[in-house]
Chains A and B, each alone.
Chain A
C-alpha cells in the first residue's frame, strides 16, 4: 500500500524557517517524481514544487521561488521542503504528492502537515 506521511509542520514567526519531510513507503520511491502542494485554510489547492526521480529536474511556483528548496533522499525514501523567509501567506496545509513524471497527475497524496506563520 502506498503511503506518504508528512511531518515537520508547526507555528513559526514571519521571516523564520521550517523543514518539512515526507516519508514514503509501499512503492519504489526512486522511480517516481514528487511534488509539494499546499492549501491555505478554507482555500483551494496551490502547486508549490516538483522534483524528478533523480533530482535532476526541479520546478517552483513563483510565489516560493528563492525562498523554498525541494530535495529528496532516495536511500531514505524521503522528500523534503526547506522553507525560509516565511510569510503570513505561506500558512497552509502542505501535502506531498506522487507523480509518474512532470505533466502527470498527482496519483497519491499524504495527509498533509499544517504550517502556521504568525507572530
Chain B
C-alpha cells in the first residue's frame, strides 16, 4: 500500500499561478494514472484532471496536471487564479492491491 501526501493548504493572489503537489510514498507515481478533484464548500467533488494530465470538457485550460518521476509526485497547476478556484483539491490513484487511494486534500485560498 502507498499514501499520497499533499500540502494541507496553499494560498495565492488572483491572477497568479499556484501548484499543488501530491507525493507517492512508495512505488512509482507512473504506475497508475493520477486524477485531481475539486470540491467547493458544500458541494460534491468534480474532476479537473484525469489520467495525469487530461482535462474533462468544460474545465478551463488554466488547469493542468503533470507527473515527475524524479520526485515521485504529481502536480496540479492552476494559472490565472480566480476567486472561484478557491476549494479543496484531492489527488487520487490506485494501488496494485485493487484499492483506490486519495491524498489528504489541499485547501486552496485565493486572497
Contacts and interface: CB of A to CB of B under 8 A. Distances in A.
Interface string B80-99: 00000000101010100011
A112 B45 CA distance: 10
B39 to A, nearest CB: 8
A53 interface: no
Which 5 A/B pairs are nearest by Cβ-Cβ distance?
Answer: A47-B100, A105-B50, A109-B44, A105-B35, A44-B105
Contacts of B37: 45, 106
Given A44-B105, A59-B99, A112-B44, 6 more contacts: A45-B102, A47-B99, A47-B100, A61-B99, A62-B99, A105-B50
A29 interface: no
Given A44-B104, A44-B105, A47-B100, A106 B45 contact: yes
Interface residues of A, number: 21
A104 B50 contact: yes
A83 to B, nearest CB: 18
5 contacts: A45-B90, A61-B100, A102-B94, A104-B50, A105-B51
A107 interface: yes
B17 interface: no
A42 to B, nearest CB: 11
B102 A47 contact: yes
Q: Which of A45, A50, A102, A103 has the largest number of chain B CB atoms within 10 A?
A: A45
A102 B90 contact: no
Nearest to B6: A44
A107 B92 CA distance: 13
B18 to A, nearest CB: 19
A46 interface: yes
B98 A102 contact: yes
A47 B95 CA distance: 12
A59 B50 contact: no
A80 interface: no
Contacts of A46: 102
A91 B39 CA distance: 19
Contacts of A111: 44
